[in-house]
Amino acid sequence: MKRLFHSVFLAASLLFFIASCTEEQDFDQIDDLRVTPTLASGLFYLESDEETINAAGPLNSFYSQEINFEAFNEQYVAERLLEGVITYEMDNTTSKELQIIIEFLDDAGQLLDTEPFTIEANSSETWDIPYGPGGKSIDILTNTSSLRITANNLSDGTSVSSAEDPKIILRSGAQFVFQLQ
């Protein structure tokens, strides 16, 4: 009888421990999960020396190019883009005042947006352009299929900077935030 009592007590204790150490699992937690990764990328790089700028002449374009920008050509990606910031960094060691114009174009070549930047001789500038909440329309980015970059000499065509290797350098990069769920 004692043995039966110990067996029942042991079984009851085991059931008590199993029941008291578990809680009901909530497998709907994925609905509360918000994943918003940030993707950073370089967009384009432009470099031109002062000799090329002078050769174009005063008040003329010394650079013009259209580049593909198909980052959001997949509808799945475009629909999940929440916001973004494009950063333009320009270093001008030439004796020229320069203007850079960046145009955002859709599939049909229609102009969606324009970003003009003017930079004085021998200076550096950085511009952050936000898209999404608090910035320009996110639709500009999601509908862009190419970028047209034009660089203009707003000065003369003869002056030369005293810098060792005078040139204009334009770097651009972007950070985009996506909603995965």
**Fold designation for 33-178:** Jelly Rolls (2.60.120)
Among 74-83, 101-110, 118-127, name the one with the lowest average pLDDT: 74-83
Backbone angles phi, psi at 178, to 5 degrees: -120, 150
Please state the domain extents for the chain. Answer: 33-178
Please state the rounded mean pLDDT for residues 49-77.
87
pLDDT digits (tens, 9 = 90+) for 138-174: 999 999 999 999 999 999 988 888 889 999 999 999 9
Question: Which residue in 146, 152, 154 sits closest to 63, CA to CA?
Answer: 152
If one compares 179 and 84, the residue with the highest pLDDT of the two is: 84
Q: b vs e for 117-150, b when ≥16 Cβ sit within 10 Å of the residue's Cβ?
A: eebebeeeeeeebebbeeebebebbbbbbebbbb
Q: How confident is residue 92, by pLDDT bands cut at 50, 70 and 90?
A: very high
pLDDT digits (tens, 9 = 90+) for 113-139: 999 999 999 999 999 999 999 999 999
Confidence (pTM): 0.76
Whole-number percent of the chain with pLDDT over 90: 57
What is residue 106's three-state secondary structure? coil
Q: How confident is residue 104, by pLDDT bands cut at 50, 70 and 90?
A: very high
Beta-sheet strand order (sheet of 81-92): 38-49, 167-178, 81-92, 123-131
Among 36-50, 98-112, 130-144, name the one with the lowest average pLDDT: 36-50
